[in-house]
Structure 1
């Protein structure tokens, strides 16, 4: 599926997604036209889904991150979908993950401080539908956070 040239392009793109096609091509030692065609092919096949700005929410004044492990009340047939739809509407929920096992969902929640977190928790999280149990894990430090793939 991917050859060595595709991998080289992806490594350089992950290292600096702001590179122009010409600069990316130069770093990969290929022509800009070849680089552009390869990128277009990887985008159309879904390998490269897009480029986005990664904003440091801590730099914007958010100092608290909590991982909430949620167990769903499984007595309602549409409970799962309704819970996810409602959680998507909470601006402080950055990520929603679903699991098989004892825990059904994980919500990653940010807040400016503990008082703000308490408000979000009481007013927005506890009012989400179909929750049977919540376990909160307060983030102490992020040891590794890497979006780059080992290509």
Structure 2
């Protein structure tokens, strides 16, 4: 799919505010509303725009603790990855699960209301996950930059 200067401009604007009306986007890009709509539809159909999201403030919703877990699995078990991931996906407080190449196999982000709540999740749910050989917890102290925006 060809992406031109106007498409890139629209993508930058949508990254800033995905709910921005098409009329505002069209004006900012210097094109008609119908041309803008067609471009956005083409970018969505082509998979360039994968989704439009609402960003929630975890702290405003009462989640004060965020922990990044680095998990190494017991690779002697042939289905270790599949079994671990299937169970980890069922934990509501796990926000993301990523597989990695290297010493660590899995990275997970866990959110909790407070330290007591995190400890409960960790002891009752995380440690019950299958095939864990090692686990390291890194607690978020402060977030200095968090952007899903791509420099285009």
Structure 1 SS opposite 2:135:
strand
- TM-score between both structures, scaled by the size of structure 2: 0.96
The 1-side partners of 2:139 and 2:13 are apart by 35
Maintained 8 Å contact 1:66/1:136:
yes
Match of 1:47 in 2: 48
Structure 1: state its 5+ residue gaps.
none
Match of 2:134 in 1: 133
- TM-score between both structures, scaled by the size of structure 1: 0.97
Deviation per CA, 1:65-97, whole angstroms, max 9, x where unpaired? 111100001111111011011111001100111
CA apart distance, 1:143 = 1.1
After the TM superposition, which parts of structure 1 deviate over 2 Å for at least 4 consecutive aligned residues? Answer: none
Match of 1:147 in 2: 148
Maintained 8 Å contact 1:64/1:110:
yes
The 2-side partners of 1:37 and 1:53 are apart by 23
The 1-side partners of 2:108 and 2:80 are apart by 16
Deviation per CA, 1:15-59, whole angstroms, max 9, x where unpaired? 221111112111111101111111111101100012111111111
Match of 2:24 in 1: 23
Match of 2:35 in 1: 34
Maintained 8 Å contact 1:12/1:28:
no
Aligned length: 151
CA apart distance, 1:14 = 1.2
Residue 92 (structure 2) pairs with residue 91 (structure 1):
yes
Deviation per CA, 1:75-130, whole angstroms, max 9, x where unpaired? 11111011011111001100111100100001100111110010000000000011
Structure 2 SS opposite 1:69:
strand
